[in-house]
């Protein structure tokens, strides 16, 4: 698999161990920066990673920051991305299995290296289960296809 990895300055400490893990597992790991701890604005490094996944230039993406929250929000702003923020391997795996997540966000200020690596393993080994989950993914995709995110006027409460 081709997997893009991007981190802001706070997520930088987790990036090298993750790149090493991916390479050792036989994946093509693509480092999209940042390359040191000089402060950067996370959307500047996370959005290109999400765009690479959305465009099909990578199979999956892993984005890292201090908490992982801003990184998840940024990635999910890109059409076609379903980014799960995980602080444990079960959440990472379920993101793939139930939500067909194509990106994983984690926080270096939240997780130690070993837990982060366990999350990555669970994420890349997880597979979308389909079945009852397909209907939900289709509904998520429908939200992306309308200007205001509302795919059904009947779902709008009256005032």
Q: What is the largest CA-CA distance in the chain?
A: 57
Q: What is the pLDDT of residue 148?
A: 63
Any domain includes 158:
no
Triad 46, 47, 53: Cα angle to 5°: 95
Residue 151 to residues 4, 16, 76, 85, 136: CA-CA distances in angstroms? 31, 41, 18, 25, 13
User: Per the structure, how many domains does the chain have?
Assistant: 1
**Of 28, 71, 125, 127, which one is the catalytic site residue?**
71
Any domain includes 126:
yes
| 48: nearest Cα among 78, 17, 83 | 78
Q: What is the pLDDT of residue 152?
A: 55
Distance, CA of 59 to CA of 52 (rounded, Å): 9
**Of 27, 97, 98, 133, which one is the catalytic site residue?**
98
Give the domain CATH number at 85: 3.40.1400.10
138 is catalytic: no
For residue range 46-70, list pLDDT tens digits in order.
999 999 999 999 999 999 999 999 9
Q: How many CA atoms lie within 13 A of 121 on its CB side?
A: 12
What is the three-state SS of the chain?
CEEEEEECCCCHHHHHHHHHHHHHCCCEEEECCCCCCCCCCHHHHHHHHHHHHHCCCCCEEEEEECCCHHHHHHHHCCCCCCEEECCCHHHHHHHHHHHCCCEEEEECCCCCHHHHHHHHHHHHHCCCCCCHHHHHHHHHHHHHCCCCCCCCHHHCCCC
Any domain includes 48:
yes
Phi and psi at residue 13, to the nearest 5° = -60, -25
Residues of the chain with pLDDT under 50: 153-154, 156-159
71 is catalytic: yes
Predicted model pTM: 0.89
- Domain that includes residue 15, residue range: 2-153
Any domain includes 159:
no
């Amino acid at each position: 698999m081709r997997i893009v990895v991007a981190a802001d300055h706070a997520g930088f400490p987790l990036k090298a161990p993750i790149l090493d893990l991916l390479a050792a597992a036989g994946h093509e790991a693509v480092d999209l920066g940042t390359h040191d701890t000089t402060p950067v604005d996370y959307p500047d490094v996370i959005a290109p990673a999400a765009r690479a996944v959305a465009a099909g230039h990578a199979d999956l993406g892993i984005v890292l920051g201090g908490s992982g929250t801003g990184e998840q929000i940024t990635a999910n702003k890109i059409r076609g991305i379903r980014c799960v923020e995980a602080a444990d391997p079960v959440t990472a795996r379920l993101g793939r299995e139930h939500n067909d997540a194509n990106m994983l966000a984690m926080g270096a200020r939240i997780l130690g290296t070993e837990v982060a690596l366990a999350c990555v393993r669970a994420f890349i080994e997880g597979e979308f289960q389909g079945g009852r989950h397909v209907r939900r993914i289709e509904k998520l995709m429908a939200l992306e296809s309308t200007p205001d995110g509302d795919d059904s006027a009947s779902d709008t409460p009256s005032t």
